[in-house]
Amino acid sequence: MGCGYVFISILLCISFTPYYITLVESTDVGGILQMNKKYAMWRTRPGGFYGLRAEISIWGSPNQEYSQDSGASIQIYCQDGGHYNLIEAGFHVSPSLYHNRDVRFFTYWTKDFKSASCYNLRCKGFVAASGTALVPGQAITPTSSYGEYDHYIRLSLNKKSEDWVVYRHDLQTPSFLGYFPVEFCSGTPRIQALTGFVNYLNSTRGPPMGSGHFPDEKDDDKTTAYFRHVKNYDFKGRAFEPITVNMAPFS
């Protein structure tokens, strides 16, 4: 695959105490272990924030099984009473949702992770901009390829208004893709997260997360999945570099 770049950006910011976490949670209703859900996550502790931007590399998963899901996203968790709501934008391969193995741009929201949730434009939630060239559920090409320069998309969630907006940034000027209305993420404190994920049946072998290769190999930026060029935003909408802190593994 030839060299090329596609960009997009997600905005979210905070009082910064981030850490790295690998999480396994696999209990279905009734306590039966049926689904494995694994994450490689960089997140903040609950706090106040105004924006985060990150570039995400996009990797295909052509051998993924029908029941499996893999991808990467930027997430905002907003406290609502005794629970958190979630809004999310990113890229995934989900054969059960689309009936193929294309990499697709997606949006998602859930209320308390139990009572309501929705992907893309299938119900009330994310509002696509009129005439946008990239809509939730749309396939993304080209994807990144092993040993070649990564092709990536940059997502932007920007709290300049009370709504959470999404912009595309691979054009000469940012392109507005749509927004999550404020009611889907209005509470505080909030958590921001950069997340790689795979979901699969407990009886099967899971798909690779990202490219399936670890970052200690040669030419990391060509062979591994990543979030990079991360920026935070202050209350005036000004971008700045994340504060450097030690990252701690959890499992």
Query: Tens-of-pLDDT digits for all 251 residues of the chain?
Result: 333 334 444 443 333 333 333 333 444 444 455 778 888 888 878 887 776 777 787 777 778 888 888 888 988 898 888 889 999 999 899 999 999 999 899 999 998 888 889 999 999 999 999 999 889 999 987 665 444 444 455 555 565 677 888 877 666 677 889 999 989 988 888 888 888 888 888 777 767 666 555 565 555 555 566 777 787 766 676 777 776 544 434 43
Q: Does domain 18-236 have CATH number 2.60.120?
A: yes
Residue 1: what pLDDT? 33
Residue 122: what pLDDT? 93
Residue 156: what pLDDT? 55
Residue 118: what pLDDT? 94
Structure tokens at 36: 């494995």
How far apart are alpha carbons 72 and 231 in whole angstroms?
A: 17
How far apart are alpha carbons 170 and 251 in whole angstroms?
A: 36
Q: What are phi and psi of 219, to 5 degrees?
A: 55, 60
Q: Which residues pair with 87 in a beta bridge?
A: 76, 109
Residue 250: what pLDDT? 40
DSSP string, the chain: --------B-----S--EEEEEEEEEE-GGG-EEEEEEEEEEEE-SB---EEEEEEE-B--TT--TT-EEEEEEEEEEEETTEEEEEEEEEEE-HHHHSS---EEEEEEEETTTTEEEETTSSSS-EEPTT-S--TT-B--SPB-TTSPPPEEEEEEETTSSSEEEEE-SSSS-EEEEEE-GGGS--SSEEEEEEEEEEEETTSPPPPSTTS--TTSSSHHHHS--EEEEEEE-TT--EEPPPP-------
For residue 168, CA distances in Å to 174, 210, 240 come to 6, 21, 19
Exposure of 173 in the CB half-sphere (CA atoms within 13 A): 1
Which residue matches tokens 């000469």? 172
CB 106 within 8 A of CB 125: no
Domain boundaries along the sequence of the chain: 18-236
Structure tokens at 73: 């996203």
Structure tokens at 16: 């910064």
How far apart are alpha carbons 158 and 179 in whole angstroms?
A: 9
Residue 99: what pLDDT? 94
